[in-house]
């Protein structure tokens, strides 16, 4: 650079262009140089011994202090002064909230028929959809009495008011529109996943296909009027045709308004140890010995592993190479290893996304937002989930073959959840191909539990996961009458009766808080969230 600086000074004087002294920063401290080289080797799949690997060229790429920079450019102090002038010119503000302090969401305006308001369009579609759902239920032989219709209408009216007050009419209409398009074009769509199944509006708009009323699913679990946050439908599409639905929204709202979302894979504990070991030229066996000593704990850090596992400390003390391995792994742990594209998330915005976030072109020339999901949401960009599910493809193909070979047209809406044949098949252990139920462990649980209704199937699915698994023996004992069903308070019986007195679902937690503590369902949802995240002060 000693050769370049005189030339730059000469050009500056001739062209009257100010000089700026820049600090090319790649790492924080001078001692981080080797860690930076390791990181480059990981990214380029090289080792430190590889002569062809990329090198930065010096050890000066750390974050220098003002004093260090002025010492380097003491003969042109104005070059350092100009950095301050540029910093003063940088003035970037994200407009995240409106004048009332509410979050600003960059959601496209949904085009309604005849230019009617979004609120009126939602009401029209929802109440006409409710009538269609009643017709479908009667066709399946289900009883729709005059007594329950007002209950549905009251719940539907309540949800519509909350959705309107929170400003999410457009979101619901956009989702129902692309789901409607998918179904019209013979693209299988899942019946509903996650908390969105608790919305009667979603059921009436055919966003979901499960009636939330008989199963005590709670709307506030999905959209809480006491805690403003975006709704988030998890929507499953046939894996082979998911891209067609994304193409539809891209055409409808404009290519500049639709984008995939970046994901960042980070170097976690074991991966960091293995990657550093490979870059150092250690054998797989040498690194494997250390990596396998890391305790089996979700989210464990390298420092926690060193502190809790004495054998790791012994290896570090006995072998300088292992000491270096762990020191370097500590430095790079948590850094980004690679970038990818979110498996389901797609942003649909109210104009050019590049006005709000940087983009890059993906491998298939698609737009990709360079903010990850959480940061994209913070600036008001809305994520829609387009999940690809192979099971839906298989079900669709099965129905096609039934029509071809048996000349019988059936849809999933024709299948009653009260069909005893469903439970006879599952109780026999014939679960191959059944989504979330075909594993050996859960199949064994089904054989033991002998479910005879849909509620039993739901409970088994909820129990067969880390944590709730501990309640399985108690659940089986109570279901089979071998253990007494006990209710802590008589008031809990209507809430936990179907799960034999055991609290299995988050919705049950909300209902209990509402019943015992007189919480609103919105307040109960905030309690549920605090319990799930283990935040004592909020609880």
What is the C-alpha R_g of the chain?
Answer: 30
C-alpha dist (Å) from residue 451 to 208, 210, 424, 425, 479:
24, 19, 9, 10, 9
Task: Give the pLDDT band (50/70/90) at residue 398.
Answer: very high
Alpha helical stretches, state H, 432-471: 440-449, 454-463
The number of residues in the chain equals 539
Do 302 and 269 form a contact (C-beta atoms < 8 A)? yes
The answer on 126 and 85 residing in a single domain is no
Whether residue 533 is predicted with pLDDT greater than 80 in this model: the reply is no
- Go through 175-194 and write b for each residue having 16 or more CB atoms within 10 A of its CB, e for each that does not: bbbbbeebeeeebbbbebbe
Alpha helical stretches, state H, 281-414: 284-291, 302-308, 310-318, 320-332, 373-378, 390-406
Residue-level pLDDT at 403: 92
The answer on 200 and 155 residing in a single domain is yes
State whether residue 231 is helix, strand or coil.
coil
Residue-level pLDDT at 1: 64
φ/ψ bin of 37: left (φ > 0), alpha (ψ from -120 to 50), beta (otherwise): alpha
The answer on 353 and 219 residing in a single domain is yes
φ/ψ bin of 520: left (φ > 0), alpha (ψ from -120 to 50), beta (otherwise): beta
Q: CA torsion angle for 160, 165, 166, 169 (degrees, to 10)?
A: 50
Cα separation, 350 vs 381, whole angstroms = 9
The answer on 213 and 83 residing in a single domain is no
Residue-level pLDDT at 525: 87
Would you say residue 10 lies in a domain? yes
Do 393 and 239 form a contact (C-beta atoms < 8 A)? yes
Average pLDDT over the chain reads: 92
Q: Which residues are bridge partners to 339 per DSSP?
A: 264
406 CA to centre of own chain = 41
| HSE of 19, CA atoms in CB hemisphere, 13 A | 19
Instruction: Of 118, 120, 122, give the one whose Cα is nearest residue 130.
Output: 122
Neighbours of 60 (CB within 10 A): 15
Q: Which helix (H) or strand (E) holds 341?
A: strand 336-348
Cα separation, 309 vs 302, whole angstroms = 10
Q: Which pairing describes strands 383-389 and 336-348: parallel, antiparallel, or unpaired?
A: antiparallel
Do 50 and 282 form a contact (C-beta atoms < 8 A)? no
- Its domain, for residue 16, covers 4-89
Both tokens of residue 9? 């000074």
Whether residue 537 is predicted with pLDDT greater than 80 in this model: the reply is no
Cα separation, 408 vs 401, whole angstroms = 9
Cα separation, 524 vs 509, whole angstroms = 8
Q: What is the DSSP letter of 110?
A: P
Do 295 and 308 form a contact (C-beta atoms < 8 A)? yes
Task: Give the pLDDT band (50/70/90) at residue 25.
Answer: very high
Q: Which helix (H) or strand (E) holds 79?
A: helix 77-89
Both tokens of residue 384? 């829609």
Q: Which residues are bridge partners to 346 per DSSP?
A: 260, 384
Last residue of a domain, one of 73, 89, 105: 89
Do 126 and 201 form a contact (C-beta atoms < 8 A)? yes
Residue-level pLDDT at 539: 64
Instruction: Name the strands in the sheet holding 367-369, side by side, starting at the edge strand that comes first in the sequence.
Output: 234-238, 383-389, 336-348, 258-266, 367-369, 359-361
Q: Which helix (H) or strand (E) holds 421?
A: helix 420-427
pLDDT tens for residues 417-448? Answer: 889 999 999 999 999 989 999 999 999 999 99
Cα separation, 387 vs 397, whole angstroms = 18
Would you say residue 324 lies in a domain? no
Instruction: Of 386, 406, 383, 402, give the one whose Cα is nearest residue 394.
Output: 402
Cα separation, 231 vs 301, whole angstroms = 33
pLDDT tens for residues 481-497? Answer: 999 999 988 999 999 99
Last residue of a domain, one of 350, 375, 391: 391
Cα separation, 231 vs 223, whole angstroms = 6
pLDDT tens for residues 203-255? Answer: 999 999 999 999 889 999 899 888 777 888 999 999 999 999 999 999 999 99
Would you say residue 439 lies in a domain? no
The answer on 150 and 70 residing in a single domain is no
The percentage of the chain sitting over the pLDDT mark of 70, rounded to a whole number, equals 99
Would you say residue 442 lies in a domain? no
Would you say residue 218 lies in a domain? yes
Task: Give the pLDDT band (50/70/90) at residue 33.
Answer: very high
Residue-level pLDDT at 139: 85
Residue-level pLDDT at 100: 84
Cα separation, 493 vs 486, whole angstroms = 9
Residue-level pLDDT at 527: 86
Alpha helical stretches, state H, 480-534: 493-496, 506-516, 521-532
The answer on 155 and 45 residing in a single domain is no
Q: Which pairing describes strands 383-389 and 234-238: parallel, antiparallel, or unpaired?
A: parallel
User: How many domains in the chain?
Assistant: 2
pLDDT tens for residues 159-197? Answer: 999 999 998 999 999 999 999 999 999 999 999 988 999
The answer on 156 and 25 residing in a single domain is no
Would you say residue 490 lies in a domain? no
The answer on 216 and 78 residing in a single domain is no
Q: Which pairing describes strands 258-266 and 367-369: parallel, antiparallel, or unpaired?
A: parallel
The answer on 62 and 197 residing in a single domain is no
pLDDT tens for residues 315-366? Answer: 999 999 999 999 999 999 999 989 999 999 999 999 999 999 999 999 999 9
The answer on 247 and 136 residing in a single domain is yes
User: What is the phi/psi pair of residue 353, to 5°?
Assistant: -65, -30
Neighbours of 479 (CB within 10 A): 20
The answer on 355 and 219 residing in a single domain is yes
The answer on 120 and 72 residing in a single domain is no
Whether residue 19 is predicted with pLDDT greater than 70 in this model: the reply is yes
Do 352 and 258 form a contact (C-beta atoms < 8 A)? no
Task: State the average pLDDT over residues 118-135.
Answer: 96
User: What is the phi/psi pair of residue 44, to 5°?
Assistant: -105, 5
Would you say residue 49 lies in a domain? yes
Last residue of a domain, one of 355, 374, 391: 391
Check residues 90 and 141 and name the one with the higher pLDDT.
90
pLDDT tens for residues 127-164? Answer: 999 999 999 888 888 888 888 999 999 999 999 999 99
pLDDT tens for residues 359-389? Answer: 999 999 999 999 999 999 999 999 999 999 9
Do 234 and 179 form a contact (C-beta atoms < 8 A)? no
Would you say residue 237 lies in a domain? yes
Whether residue 303 is predicted with pLDDT greater than 80 in this model: the reply is yes
Whether residue 534 is predicted with pLDDT greater than 80 in this model: the reply is no
Whether residue 36 is predicted with pLDDT greater than 90 in this model: the reply is yes
Residue in this structure with the two tokens 């008589």, named with its chain if needed: 490
């Amino acid at each position: 650079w000693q050769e370049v600086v005189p030339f730059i000074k000469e050009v500056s004087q001739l062209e009257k262009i100010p000089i700026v002294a820049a600090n090319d920063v790649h790492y924080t401290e001078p001692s981080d140089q080797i860690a930076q080289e390791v990181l480059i080797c990981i990214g380029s799949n090289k080792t430190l011994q590889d002569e062809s690997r990329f090198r930065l060229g010096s050890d000066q790429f750390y974050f220098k202090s003002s004093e260090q920079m002025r010492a380097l450019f003491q003969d042109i102090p104005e070059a350092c002064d100009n950095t301050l002038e540029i910093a003063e010119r940088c003035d970037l503000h994200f407009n995240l909230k409106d004048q009332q302090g509410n979050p600003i969401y960059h959601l496209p305006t949904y085009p309604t028929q005849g230019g009617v308001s979004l609120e009126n369009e939602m009401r029209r579609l929802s109440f006409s959809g409710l009538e269609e759902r009643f017709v479908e239920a009667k066709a399946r032989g289900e009883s729709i009495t005059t007594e329950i219709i007002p209950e549905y209408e009251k719940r539907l009216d309540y949800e519509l008011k909350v959705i309107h007050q929170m400003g999410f009419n457009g979101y619901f209409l956009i989702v129902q529109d692309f789901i409607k398009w998918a179904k019209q074009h013979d693209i299988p769509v899942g019946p509903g996943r996650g908390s969105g199944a608790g919305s009667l509006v979603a059921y009436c708009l055919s966003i979901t296909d499960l009636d939330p009323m008989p199963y005590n699913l709670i709307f506030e679990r999905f959209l809480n009027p006491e805690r403003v946050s975006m709704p988030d439908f998890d929507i499953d599409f046939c894996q082979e045709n998911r891209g067609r639905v994304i193409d539809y929204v891209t055409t409808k709202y404009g290519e500049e308004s639709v984008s995939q979302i970046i994901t960042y894979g980070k170097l976690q504990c074991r991966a960091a140890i293995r990657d550093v070991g490979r870059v150092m030229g250690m054998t797989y066996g040498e690194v494997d010995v250390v990596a396998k000593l890391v305790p089996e704990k979700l989210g464990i850090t390298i420092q926690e592993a060193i502190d809790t596992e004495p054998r790791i400390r012994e290896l570090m003390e006995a072998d300088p190479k292992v000491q270096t391995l762990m020191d370097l792994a500590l430095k790079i742990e948590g850094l980004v290893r690679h970038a990818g594209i979110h498996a389901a998330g797609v942003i649909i915005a109210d104009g050019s996304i590049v006005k709000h976030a940087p983009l890059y072109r993906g491998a298939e020339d698609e737009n990709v937002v360079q903010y990850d999901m959480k940061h994209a949401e913070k600036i008001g960009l809305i994520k829609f989930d387009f999940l690809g599910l192979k099971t839906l493809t298989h079900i669709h193909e099965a129905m096609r073959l039934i029509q071809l070979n048996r000349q019988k047209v059936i849809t999933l809406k024709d299948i009653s959840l009260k069909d005893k044949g469903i439970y006879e098949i599952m109780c026999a252990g014939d679960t191959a191909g059944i989504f979330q139920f075909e594993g050996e462990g859960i199949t064994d649980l089904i054989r033991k539990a002998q479910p005879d209704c849909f509620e039993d199937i739901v409970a088994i699915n909820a129990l067969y996961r880390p944590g709730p698994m501990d309640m399985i023996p108690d659940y089986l004992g109570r279901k089979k009458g071998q253990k007494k069903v006990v209710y802590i308070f008589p008031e809990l019986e209507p809430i936990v009766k179907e799960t034999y007195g055991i609290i299995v679902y988050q919705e049950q937690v909300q209902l209990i808080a509402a019943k015992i503590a007189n919480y609103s369902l919105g307040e109960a949802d905030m309690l549920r969230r605090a319990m799930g995240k283990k935040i004592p002060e909020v609880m």
